[in-house]
């Protein structure tokens, strides 16, 4: 009986051990933070170290739409990525102009809260010929004629929207694919803002806290 009581007491002590005794909250092995430029200013990207931190209120609601498929662009080989791969693209974009981090949500969402270093190109731009050509030019695409483009210098785009359930990035990727954008240069961060904020990663915008 004493043996069982001691074992239970030890287990209880482990469960009640304060979380503040844990190590730094990391992004990846050996990576606690990194810096990106956002609107001309350096921003340190890291996970919130306060271990009582909760997800941002904008993404606390779970009653969202149906989740997107893991690979919604078949047969096109668009890669679906998670946070660690997305972070790699964020860091690459700081050194390589041929890599971009793209927020595909409508502008209101972007202004309220976004991922540092992300450029705003709402998916709705693909529906207006002038806006579409402007975006494609920024993406390294050359317009050859009406509806004809040269994608030989197209940039790699790491794209995101609100979350697993959000259809804004899938809609933009499908429209880019229809124009001929190389599938291997389109990266779909499926978790988006909901996954990003659930990990306590740095955000910027009017509603950032």
Domain of 163, CATH number, reads 3.40.250.10
So what's the pLDDT on residue 12?
41
Please report whether residue 178 resides in a domain: yes
Q: Which two tokens stand for residue 152?
A: 């030989």
- Closest to 42 (Cα-Cα) out of 33, 50, 30, 53: 33
Beta strands 33-38 and 142-145 are: unpaired
Cα gap 70→73, rounded to integer Å: 9
Cα gap 136→197, rounded to integer Å: 29
Alpha helices per DSSP H over the chain: 2-16, 83-95, 107-112, 129-138, 168-179, 192-198
Q: Could you tell me which residues are beta bridge partners of residue 102? A: 119, 159
Mean pLDDT by runs of 10 across the 209 residues of the chain is: 40 40 83 96 96 90 91 96 98 98 97 98 96 97 91 98 97 98 98 96 93
Please report whether residue 13 resides in a domain: no
Q: How many CB atoms lie within 10 A of CB 7?
A: 10
3-state secondary structure of 36: strand
Q: Taking a C-beta distance cutoff of 8 angstroms, is the pair 201, 47 a contact?
A: yes
Kindly report, residue by residue over 48-90, the tens digit of the pLDDT: 999 888 999 999 888 889 999 999 999 999 999 999 999 999 9
Q: Could you tell me which residues are beta bridge partners of residue 187? A: 79, 158
Residue with tokens 């893991």: 70
Q: Taking a C-beta distance cutoff of 8 angstroms, is the pair 52, 150 a contact?
A: no
Domain limits for position 88: 22-198
So what's the pLDDT on residue 22?
59
Beta strands 186-189 and 156-160 are: parallel
So what's the pLDDT on residue 10?
39
Please report whether residue 3 resides in a domain: no
Please report whether residue 204 resides in a domain: no
Q: How many CB atoms lie within 10 A of CB 138?
A: 13
Please report whether residue 92 resides in a domain: yes
Please report whether residue 4 resides in a domain: no
Number of domains in the chain: 1
Please report whether residue 207 resides in a domain: no
- Closest to 155 (Cα-Cα) out of 122, 119, 125: 119
Please report whether residue 139 resides in a domain: yes
């Amino acid at each position: 009986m004493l043996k069982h009581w001691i074992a239970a007491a030890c287990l209880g002590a482990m469960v009640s051990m304060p979380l503040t005794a844990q190590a730094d909250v990391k992004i990846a092995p050996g990576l606690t933070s990194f810096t990106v430029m956002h609107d001309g200013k350096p921003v340190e990207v890291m996970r919130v170290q306060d271990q009582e931190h909760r997800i941002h209120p904008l993404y606390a609601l779970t009653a969202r739409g149906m989740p997107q498929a893991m690979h919604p662009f078949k047969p096109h080989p668009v890669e679906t990525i998670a946070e660690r791969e997305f972070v790699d693209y964020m860091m690459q974009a700081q050194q390589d102009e041929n890599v971009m981090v793209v927020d595909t949500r409508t502008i209101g969402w972007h202004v309220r809260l976004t991922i540092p270093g992300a450029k705003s190109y709402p998916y709705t731009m693909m529906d207006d010929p002038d806006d579409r050509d402007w975006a494609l030019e920024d993406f390294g695409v050359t317009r050859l004629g009406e509806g004809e483009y040269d994608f030989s210098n197209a940039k790699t785009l790491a794209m995101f929207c609100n979350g697993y359930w959000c259809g804004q990035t899938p809609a933009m990727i499908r429209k880019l694919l229809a124009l001929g954008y190389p599938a291997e240069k389109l990266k779909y961060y499926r978790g988006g803002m909901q996954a990003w904020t659930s990990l306590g990663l740095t955000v910027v915008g009017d509603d950032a806290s």
